Copies of this chain bind each other. A is one copy, B any other.
Amino acid sequence: MPKLVVRCFGISLDGFSAAPGQSEKEPFGRDGLRLMNWVFETKHFNVMVGTPGGVEGLDNDFMAKADENIGAGIMGRNMFGPPADVGDKAAWKGWWGPNPPYHHPVFVLTHEKKAKLDMEGGTSFTFVNDGIESALKQAFAAANGKDVRLAGGAATVRQYWKAGLIDELHLVQAPLLLGQGERIFEGLGGVESLYECVQFTPSKAVSHLLIVRKGL
C-alpha cells in the first residue's frame, strides 16, 4: 500500500519548523535557515544542487532515503509562497527556480485559484482549493503506486497528522532554540494514542526521530 510520509522535516529543540518573519530571502523566517544546516553538510544535498563537497554518513543516508519511492508531494501555501514581501505575486513559481528539486507532481493546498505550473525536470505544481483529503486523493493518483511525501509546513503537517492520515513522520530535531515561529506540536492531543516514536537515531548534529502509526 502506498503511504503518506513526512521525511527530513526539520524542527528546533523547542518544536518550531520556521521562525517568524518569512521573506523572499529567508523562507524559514528570520535566522531560521540554520535549522537546515545539517542538510547543507550532506553529500546528497550538494550533489542535488550541483555544488562540490558534502559528507557521507548518517545524516546523508537519511537525506538520500527521504527521496526514495516518492511519486508525488503535498505542501501548504506558506511553503510554496510567495511570502508577504514579494511584489509581483502572480509571477511567483515557488522558491526553487525553474528546475525544483521535487521531480514529481506537487499538490499545493491554497484558497487561491491558480493554473497548474509545469516546471523543468518533471516537477509540476497543482493548486488544490478543496481541502486536505482532496489533495491526498489527487496526490496518490499522481504517484501511481509510489508513496506521497508531505513536505510542510508545520500547519499542513499538523492537519494531516491530527486527521490520522500520515503513515510515517521522520522529524529531524536540531539543538537550536527558536523561541517562536511555526509550531509542529500544537493541537495534536489524541495523536499519542495513534502514533508512537519507534526510532531515535542521533547524529553528531541532530536527532532523527521516526514516528509511525501504531500497528503499521
Interface string of A49-88 (1 = CB under 8 A from B): 0000000000000000000000000000000000000000
Neighbour of A179 across the interface among B177, B180, B191, CB < 8 A: B191
Neighbour of A177 across the interface among B15, B180, B192, CB < 8 A: B192
Known contacts A202-B202, A207-B202; is-contact A13 B177 (Cβ 8 Å) = no
**Interface-side segment among A104-112, A116-124, A182-190:** A182-190
Asked if A175 CB lies within 8 Å of chain B CBs, one says yes
Residues in B whose Cβ lies below 8 Å from that of A193: 179
> Least Cβ distance of A199 to chain B in Å?
8
Count of chain copies:
2
> Least Cβ distance of A159 to chain B in Å?
16
Within 8 A of B (CB), among A90-104: none
Neighbour of A175 across the interface among B14, B176, B209, CB < 8 A: B209
Within 8 A of B (CB), among A1-46: 13-15
Residues in B whose Cβ lies below 8 Å from that of A200: 175
Number of interface residues of A (CB under 8 A): 27
Asked if A196 CB lies within 8 Å of chain B CBs, one says yes
Residues in B whose Cβ lies below 8 Å from that of A191: 177, 179
Asked if A195 CB lies within 8 Å of chain B CBs, one says yes
Measured CB to CB, the nearest residue on chain B to A202 is B202
Query: Apart from A13-B197, A177-B192, A180-B190, what 20 extra A-B contacts exist at CB < 8 Å?
Result: A13-B171, A13-B173, A13-B209, A13-B211, A14-B15, A14-B185, A14-B188, A15-B15, A15-B185, A173-B207, A175-B199, A177-B191, A177-B197, A177-B211, A178-B192, A179-B190, A179-B192, A179-B193, A202-B207, A207-B207
